[in-house]
Amino acid sequence: MVVWPDGRIVGTIGGGTLEHRVIAEAQAAIGAGRPRRYSVNLTRDLGMCCGGAMDVYIEPQRPTDHLVIFGAGHVAHATARQAELLGFKLTIVDDRDEWNTVERFPTAERVLRDPRAFCRTLEGAPHRWVLVTTHEHALDQDLVELLLPRDFAWLGLIGSKTKVTRFSLRLRAAGMDPARLERLHSPVGLAIGAESPAEIAVSIAAQWVAVRSGVGVGVTARR
């Protein structure tokens, strides 16, 4: 049986009280984004004279997560490979055609245009993830300023704590809502002592797994 978030169903597990309970459990699983098992004694719990017990496994089906990476440098390249392993749909945005190539990003949608112009067309979405890791600090800041007012599953910015502090001060001075600034993951990734692009990519991927699983984001990196 397929259950939609609003309680509509396709198929059935027999109707009646049991099905009603399972629909409610399925809606709860959709809201939490995690599978669950519903175990019930039909007589004791539901008052059904047929007796017996049932276990119902409920698994929410997530839309494919879409990762947009602004930048096509070494960290972007390594991080894209990790994202592929985690099942993300990929978009790479960088107007440098010598970096944003099909050889480096064979499975991604490649956007070879000004990142700021593309960013203005990018809508927020609950399954859209965004990583900003371009080759210019000024470009990073412009993109973050454009992205922060929108709602994404996750928004990360590569950089040191010093860079993040400076960006935050400038954005606050420009009138950015402090609550929006709290949504920015930066320095990005978990604190695992990452130094090389490959290691940084692993730390970022680990943070994604933590966010997806609902266990939090852990300790952020200290770059």
> How far is Cα 32 from Cα 60, in angstroms, rounded to an integer?
9
- Tell whether the model's pLDDT for residue 26 goes beyond 90: yes
- Tell whether the model's pLDDT for residue 222 goes beyond 50: no
Range of weakest confidence among 51-65, 67-81, 99-113: 51-65
> How far is Cα 119 from Cα 124, in angstroms, rounded to an integer?
11
What pLDDT does 46 receive?
A: 78
Strand stretches in the chain, DSSP E: 2-3, 9-10, 36-41, 53-58, 66-70, 89-93, 109-111, 125-132, 152-157, 184-185
User: Which pLDDT tens digit goes with each residue over 45-69?
Assistant: 878 777 788 889 999 887 889 999 9
pTM value is: 0.76
Q: What is the mean pLDDT of residues 159-187?
A: 84
Packing angle of the helix pair 137-147, 161-173 (nearest 10 deg): 50
- Tell whether the model's pLDDT for residue 190 goes beyond 70: yes
CATH numbers and ranges of domains, the chain = 2-58 (no CATH), 66-213 (3.40.50.720)
> How far is Cα 141 from Cα 166, in angstroms, rounded to an integer?
10
Mean pLDDT (the chain) is 90
